[in-house]
Amino acid sequence: MGLPSAKLAGALMRLLKNRLVIAIVSAVLGAVGWLVAENLIPERKDLGKPLPHHLAAGDPQFGRSMAALFGSNMLPGNRIETLVNGNEIFPAMLKALRGATQTITFETYIYWRGDVADQFAEVLSQKAREGVSVKVLLDWVGSIPMEEALVERMKAAGVEVVRFRPVAWSTLDKVNNRTHRKIVVVDGRIGFTGGVGIGDEWNGDARTKAEWRDNHYQVEGPVVAELQAAFAEHWLEAGGELLMGDRFFPALAPAGDSPAQVVASSTNQRSVMHLMLMTALSSAKTRIRLGTPYFVPDETTRKQLLDARKRGVEIDILIPGPITDARIVHKASRHFWGELLDAGIRIHEFEPTMYHCKLVVVDEAWASVGSTNIDDRALRLNDEVNLNAYDPAFARAQIAVFEADLKRARPYTLAQWQARSSWEQLSDWLASLLRSQI
């Protein structure tokens, strides 16, 4: 009787072990499946249809509503200077950094390599050696091409360098949620934001394909505190430190005449940028000008543009042409152009070099600039920051820049879209299937 009992006991043990293995494997596969779903499956959007035209962009109530709904107050008394291309952008930023006496806060998605990267590392290191508090927040993915020697140089000088959401067990559920923000604040008083990254690609004046076309903005006045707050949110998450006090948030006197607002989207409030932009598009009465390097509009955005067109709004969209750093994005975008072109929306392809500006201007009353593209990654996945100006003078200045770029662009027609080869149509469609991730 002992032998059968031993065999039975052994069989039971093997069965239990097998079940344990199955349970462990199932748990691991379940965890992996959850992580994939968490990062890749599109989230529900708050809007399923376009917003109706209710308030015009020039209506004072439009500004009050936008300020109440999307992020921060609309603050008067700001000065916003438009910096065009690296020849203007980098000298202005480096001058402000060299003038810092107390604090520098610096957040960027792209910090690559080359002469520009080296110049910024040297200035930041020098200010840290002088006793200035220098905090640098780099997106873990966007800064992968960065030379590690630059990081080590800054750290050795006393710069606090932190990578945002590095891949670890504690961040796997957010691995696809990057900071795409571009923020620099000096002494809590001078701010910079826009589309530029730290790399030689942005150097120059967009004269050749090696010199990217981009805008950046220098800001002074009360709204700089809102840029600082956007940085502080991410610094708390990544660095565990809450920024407070006069060094970071000094009292800010009026510096100009522009009422402005900062809108920041984050992982827990990502739809705010999508809602803000749809609200702005719905306010148009006469003209929408939209510049973006990555234009892959979701269904709601397309409907919002088409709805504006039905009201008689003229719409111009400026995007990269043959020179682009993301050909698959261009193809995915082109798949959706037919109904837009057919409705009379004009699409222009910038020809001299990579077009990287992020700009939305509604009528001659309102403009939004910053880091946000018109695609799912910007409006659904990334943490972004935009500066909204409720100032006709600033809007007209952006229109002038936009119109100058249009002269260097080529219109893309409905006839061209319809004449695409069967292979182009197929490959455009296949690329569009990846639109939530590109």
Answer yes or no: 234 catalytic. no
Task: Say which of 234, 303, 356, 383 is annotated catalytic.
Answer: 356
Instruction: Please give, one letter per residue, the 3-state secondary structure of 52-96.
Output: CCCCCCCCHHHHHHHHHHCCCCCEEEEEEEEEEHHHHHHHHHHHH
CA distance 359 to 224: 19
Contacts of 253 by beta carbon, 8 Å cutoff, 6+ apart? 77, 221
> Choosing from 139, 214, 307, 363, which is the catalytic residue?
363
- Alpha carbon distance 391, 199 (integer Å): 31
182 is catalytic: yes
53 is catalytic: no
E strand segments, 313-426 = 314-320, 346-350, 359-362, 366-370, 385-389, 409-412
Catalytic residue among 127, 135, 139, 180: 180
Per annotation, catalytic residue among 127, 135, 139, 187: 187
Burial of 372 (0-12, 13-18, 19+ CB in 10 A): buried
| From 127, 135, 182, 335, the catalytic residue | 182
Active-site residue (options: 139, 358, 375, 376): 358
Alpha-carbon dihedral of residues 40, 371, 214, 337, nearest 10 degrees?
50
The type of residue at 180 is H
For 201, counting Cβ atoms within 10 Å of its Cβ (0-12 exposed, 13-18 middle, 19+ buried), the class is buried
180 given a catalytic annotation = yes
The rounded distance, in Å, linking the Cα atoms of 333 and 328 is: 8
**Residues catalogued as catalytic:** 180, 182, 187, 356, 358, 363
